[in-house]
Structures are given as structure tokens and as C-alpha cells.
């Protein structure tokens, strides 16, 4: 019997699983940990400090007022006790009793905290600030990480300063894409969270698209939605991993920092997030490049050309 004909050759690269992408991302992170961390820290640390300051101002209760009133109540209680001890007249005792009762009631009111409407407003404001801070900082960092990954994959070894300088070559398209995306994500988070998660999902590749393809604004948003729709499972799993890392960092910060220290709690959580942030961002860059290779036959030569255009 004649041999069966060989299947036709194809240049299409097989799809990499998420585990393969994470393993490659971990290898790149371990080999280039210092520049990757510095790329993230340059923008993430100032953004975290600003966000922590705002959240601390918004969420911290009036501790100083409560402490001052508590001291006044204690002094009033001692004065009342002295009045009883020294057999003061009835009018003085009644006056001290009224003063002490008024201070105790004011102290109880402050200890209860703000009302339901105020708490709702403060919660909405805190969500909006946090979503905007992450929605702007993380895509910018993701764009810089994408440049670093592309540079390593084409044999380069650019430092973290050069990487951010190269990002300036795409600052216009990148900002034109991520600013509306961040606004939509922040508004969606305020509106019961789910719309924000949906927006973050469909705009997950905006930074990579703006950096590599040079698209801006609505064109970059549509392109991101198109690519995400073509490979939604891997992107959903990667976003879930990133969300889990952020949640774990916040949980660990809550365990080691008192709840009353709002600024320190958020800052420590963000610093713990920073330590693991390069891993999902590197994986996102690798996923985007893998998707482009399979859909658009995006070759290493095309990637070198994109880097050359940035350097130009």
C-alpha cells in the first residue's frame, strides 16, 4: 500500500497554554528581576503613595477628636468623683452629672462613626480613587514591561531607564487609549463592580496594542476587544491570577498592619503587590505576542521593526 501523503506544512505556531506562558514569564523575571522591578516601581510606588494618602484622608475616622473627647470625659468623671468625695452641694453635683453625661453621649456618637449615607459616599470615593490609580498606573507599567519583554526576545538587554524612554515614543497613543479605558473601568467599579470587571477584561490588551501597533483612542479599545474575544479564556485566567495576587497582598497587609492605620495598610499591600506584579505583566506581554503570531503571523522580524520604530 502506498504511504499516506504527509499533511500540508503550516507556519502557524501552536498555541501556548497559560502554564507555559507563566513558566516563560517566571524565567524572564528571574533572569531580569532587577530591571523588571525597577520598571514597575518607577511609577507604581508614587501612584501607591498618592492613593494611600487619599484613601487615608477619606477613610480614617476622626481619631484625634475621639481621643480629645475621651480625655475630657475622663476629667469630668474625676471631677464628679471629687465632688462626691468632698460632699459638694447638690447644684454642683447635678451640674457635673449633666456635663459628664453630655460628654459620654458625644463620645458614643463619635465612636459609632459616620452615618450610612456618609459611609456609602466615602466607599464610592475610595473605590473611584483606587480604580483610577490602578487603571492608569498598571497599563503604563504594562506598556513598559511589553517593551522590555520584546527587547529580550529579540536579543536586546535594555535597562529600565531606556525602557521608559522608549515608552515615551508611544506616550501619545498609549495615553489616548488608557485614559478613557481607566475612566470606564473606574465608573464600572463604582456601579456594582461587575461592569468595571467587564471593562477591564475587554481592555486588557490596550497597553500592548498601543505600544506595538501604535493605535490610539477608540481604535485601540476596539482592537483590544477583538483580540480578547478571540482568546478570552487565557486572558480571563491571567486576569484572575492577577486579581488573586492583589487580593492576597491586601490580605497579608491586613494581617500585619492594624485596621486603624489606613495609610500603612494600603501602602504595605501595594508594596507586596509590587513584588509579584512583573510576573502577570510579563505573561500578558507574552500572551499578546503569541496571539499576534497565530492570528496575524507576527514574526520576530516584525517585532524588531516595532522596536526600531520606537527607537526612531
Q: Tens of pLDDT along 36-53?
A: 999 999 999 988 888 788
For the stretch 150-187, pLDDT in tens is: 999 999 888 999 999 999 888 899 999 999 998 888 88
d(CA 126, CA 234) in angstroms, rounded, equals 30
**What pLDDT is recorded for position 60?**
62
Which of 303, 296, 300 has its CA nearest to residue 12? 296
Q: Which residues contact 122 (CB under 8 A, 6 or more apart)?
A: 58, 59, 114
Domains of the chain: which residue ranges? Answer: 20-60+116-311, 62-113
Instruction: Tell me the pLDDT band of 129, cut-offs 50, 70 and 90.
Output: confident
Average pLDDT of the chain is 82
d(CA 148, CA 43) in angstroms, rounded, equals 15
Cell output for 312: 526612531
Say if residues 224 and 194 touch (Cβ distance below 8 Å): no
For a pLDDT cut of 90, what percent of the chain falls above it?
A: 45
pTM of the model: 0.76
**What pLDDT is recorded for position 299?**
92
d(CA 284, CA 231) in angstroms, rounded, equals 12
**Of residues 177 and 122, more confidently modeled:** 177
Residue 146 to residues 121, 280, 284: CA-CA distances in angstroms? 37, 11, 8
CA atoms in the 13 A half-sphere facing the CB of 310: 30
**Packing angle, helices 116-153 and 160-167, rounded to 10:** 110
The average pLDDT across 13-22 equals 83
For the stretch 93-112, pLDDT in tens is: 777 777 777 776 766 665 55
d(CA 287, CA 15) in angstroms, rounded, equals 10
Instruction: Give the distance from CA 35 to its chain's centroid.
Output: 20
For a pLDDT cut of 70, what percent of the chain falls above it?
A: 80
**What pLDDT is recorded for position 2?**
42
**What pLDDT is recorded for position 9?**
39
Residue 182 to residues 4, 88, 204: CA-CA distances in angstroms? 55, 67, 11
Q: In this structure, what is the dihedral angle of CA atoms 142, 143, 148, 149, given to the nearest 10 degrees?
A: 70
**Of residues 9 and 68, more confidently modeled:** 68
3-state SS, residue 8: coil
Amino acid at each position: 500500500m502506498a504511504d499516506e501523503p504527509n499533511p500540508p506544512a503550516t507556519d502557524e505556531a501552536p498555541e501556548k497554554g497559560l502554564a507555559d506562558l507563566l513558566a516563560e514569564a517566571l524565567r524572564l523575571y528571574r533572569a531580569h528581576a532587577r530591571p523588571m522591578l525597577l520598571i514597575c516601581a518607577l511609577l507604581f510606588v508614587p501612584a501607591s503613595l498618592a492613593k494611600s494618602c487619599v484613601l487615608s484622608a477619606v477613610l480614617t475616622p476622626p481619631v484625634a477628636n475621639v481621643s480629645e473627647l475621651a480625655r475630657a470625659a475622663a476629667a469630668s468623671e474625676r471631677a464628679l468623683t471629687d465632688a462626691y468625695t468632698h460632699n459638694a452641694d447638690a447644684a454642683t453635683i447635678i451640674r457635673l452629672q449633666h456635663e459628664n453625661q453630655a460628654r459620654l453621649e458625644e463620645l458614643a456618637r463619635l465612636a459609632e462613626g459616620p452615618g450610612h449615607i456618609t459611609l456609602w459616599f466615602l466607599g464610592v470615593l475610595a473605590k473611584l480613587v483606587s480604580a483610577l490609580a490602578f487603571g492608569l498606573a498598571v497599563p503604563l507599567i504594562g506598556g513598559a514591561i511589553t517593551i522590555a519583554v520584546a527587547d529580550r526576545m529579540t536579543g536586546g538587554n535594555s535597562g529600565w531607564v531606556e525602557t521608559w524612554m522608549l515608552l515615551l515614543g508611544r506616550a501619545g497613543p498609549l495615553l489616548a487609549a488608557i485614559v478613557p479605558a481607566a475612566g470606564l473601568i473606574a465608573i464600572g467599579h463604582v456601579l456594582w463592580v461587575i461592569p468595571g470587571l467587564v471593562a477591564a477584561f475587554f481592555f486588557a490588551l490596550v497597553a500592548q496594542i498601543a505600544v506595538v501597533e501604535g493605535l490610539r483612542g477608540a481604535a485601540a479599545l476596539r482592537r483590544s476587544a477583538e483580540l480578547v474575544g478571540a482568546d478570552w479564556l487565557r486572558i480571563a485566567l491571567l486576569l484572575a491570577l492577577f486579581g488573586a495576587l492583589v487580593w492576597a497582598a491586601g490580605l497579608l497587609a491586613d494581617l500585619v498592619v492594624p485596621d486603624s492605620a489606613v495609610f500603612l495598610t494600603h501602602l504595605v499591600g501595594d508594596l507586596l503587590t509590587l513584588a509579584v506584579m512583573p510576573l502577570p505583566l510579563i505573561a500578558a506581554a507574552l500572551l499578546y505576542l503569541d496571539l499576534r503570531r497565530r492570528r496575524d503571523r507576527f514574526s520576530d522580524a516584525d517585532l524588531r521593526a516595532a522596536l526600531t520604530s520606537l527607537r526612531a
